Every structure is written in C-alpha cells, then in structure tokens.
Amino acid sequence: MGRYVVRRLGQLVVVTLGATLILFACLFVLPGDPVGQIAGSDKARDPAVIAQLHKQYGLDKPLVVQYGNYVGKLVTGDLGTDYTQSRPVTEILAPKLGNTAKLAVFAIVVDVVIGMAVGILAAMKRYSVWDVSATFLTTMAIGVPSIVLGMIIQSIFVVKLNWFPLIADGSFKSMVLPGVTLAIIDAALVAQLARSSMLEVLRADYVKTAVAKGLPSRTVLFRHILRNSVIPVITYIGISFGSLLGGALITETIFNWNGIGLALVQAIQQNNNPIITGVVTISVAVFVVLNLVVDLLYAALDPRIRLA
C-alpha cells in the first residue's frame, strides 16, 4: 500500500508538470500580448514600455526558460504574479478556492443524499411506479444542460420570486441556488449508478446466501448490498468532486459566485496567463489527489481489491 501511494504521488507530479507544460505551450503561441492589459491603450503603443514590462515579468525569455522559472517557483508554492494587480496568484486564488470548495462540498452532499436515496429505493422497488418515475425524472435531469438549468432556476427564484440575492455575497443563502444547480444533474447520475449497481449486486450469490441464512434485512442491505454496490458511485463522486473543486465555470458565472471558475473566465477575457495557469495547475493537482483517495477507498470497501 505504501509503495502504491508513493507511486501515485509521483504520478501527480508528472501529470501536473505535463498539463502545465502543454498549457504554457498553448498560451505561448496564442495571439495577443498580455502586457497590453497592464500598459494601457496609450502606453501600449510605446515599444520601450512594452519591452520593460516583458523584461519585468520574464516574457522576453524563451518558452523553456519561462516554464523552468514557473516550475522552480511552483515547488515553493508560488504560482507567479498577476499582471493586472501585481499580486501573487496564490494570494488571489486562495479565497476564491475556498469559495469554490464550499460550493463543491454543498453540491456533493446534496448529490450523495438525494442520489443514493433515490437510487436505493428504485432498486429495492424495481419495476414499480416509483422505479419507473425515478428513472424517467433522472434521465430528464441528465439531459438538461447546466447553463439552461441555471438560468431557469435563477429566473424563477431570483427574478420572479426574489427569494435569493442576484449577486452572490458568499453567504449560505447565496450558495443555495448555484449548489442546487450543480447537484441536480450529478444527483440524477448518482441515482442511476446506484440503482444499476444495486440491481447487479442483488443478483449475486453471496446476497442470496445471506438471505437464505436468515440474516436480518438491515444487515443484508448495509453489510452486503450497499458496501459492494457503492464502488461505482464513489468513482463518479470522486471525479465529480474534482470537477467542482476545479471550478464550475458556467454555474459560477451565471450566479456570479466568486470562485476559481469565475476567476478563470475573467482571466481568459483579460488574457491573464498567470491566473489561467494557476487555476489549471490547482485543478490538475486536485483531480490526481482525489483519484488516489478513491482508489484507497476501493480497498477499504472491498478487501478483494489489492493495491500494490
């Protein structure tokens, strides 16, 4: 187990470096000069000012040198300096990452509670009216784009009913609508995964043996059925949570939630490469770490799985 964890942490480093290198290369060849945002429209026409800013931020160096400087700073937790605010990227993104984490935790809790409850009931009452209705509703929810869902929810509960604030202020009340928007589609997917996985486990021989031995229904459900059927759900939840922590671009933009998703959208509009690179680096690292956590949970839930 220890060797496995060390190897996966090594993969985290390799994947993060690979992703940032590709991003650096893409940003390097894209048209546009990010220092134009700093110099202003008048000064931007002065070649001396442009050259000075390029030298100040290291943009006059080749791509390999720029990337090497970035990696050297990244080892110490330094994600660079924002061009427009002349502030460390880490300092700018830290509170935004906290806001995104709060939104992600809220959404994932709703995902698990609602999705697992609906999926379990649908599986236990398979082919009933409840099962058919749950399958139909979850399929409909999965088919709705998040941007459409978010705009509908905002139109009803913010514009018409005025129950929630239009501008998010970081409070729990302003977090409800974007959190629910993120949770609805994921909860529908969790419900369908839980249902299909449970139906497969219910047909397993060890479940039939447990029932034949006269074990209580609660014991059969929690010890034999749920524990073995939850693994596919954990896989999806881990990926979903990583995606949410990486910034829900559309939802955060619609509800003006001050997270790293909104920061990434604004950085792209401003051609602010340090913020873009910082958000991508954080997102990649979060994904790899959560994948490691999911793999370790596999072994804890199912002793037949060996990580070596």
Which among 93, 59, 62, 52 is positioned nearest to 277, based on CA atoms? 93
Which among 192, 246, 201, 233 is positioned nearest to 220, based on CA atoms? 201
Beta strand spans in 96-201 (E): none
Between the alpha carbon of residue 188 and those of residues 35, 105, 145, 181, the distances in Å are 45, 17, 13, 12
pLDDT tens for 56-106 read 777 777 778 888 888 888 888 888 888 777 788 898 899 998 888 888 889
pLDDT tens for 47-57 read 777 777 777 77
pLDDT at 188 over 80: yes
Angstrom distance (rounded) from CA 184 to CA 114: 9
Q: Which two tokens stand for residue 144?
A: 């709705």
**What CATH code is assigned to 90-301?**
1.10.3720.10
Q: What is the mean pLDDT of residues 136-148?
A: 85
pLDDT tens for 249-304 read 888 888 888 888 888 888 888 778 888 888 888 888 888 888 778 777 776 666 66
Q: If you search the block for the tokens 């009931």, which residue do you land on?
A: 121
Residue 32 is predicted with a pLDDT of 63
Q: Which two tokens stand for residue 212?
A: 């034949």
Residue 87 is predicted with a pLDDT of 84
Residue 265 is predicted with a pLDDT of 87
Residue 65 is predicted with a pLDDT of 83
Q: What is the mean pLDDT of residues 24-37?
A: 69
User: According to the per-residue pLDDT averaged within each range, which of 5-9, 168-172, 178-182 is highest?
Assistant: 178-182
Which among 191, 193, 188 is positioned nearest to 144, based on CA atoms? 188
Start-end of CATH 1.10.3720.10 domains in the chain = 90-301
Q: What is the mean pLDDT of residues 216-222?
A: 73
pLDDT at 42 over 60: no
Angstrom distance (rounded) from CA 296 to CA 42: 56
Residue 192 is predicted with a pLDDT of 87
Between the alpha carbon of residue 44 and those of residues 56, 274, 294, the distances in Å are 15, 20, 49
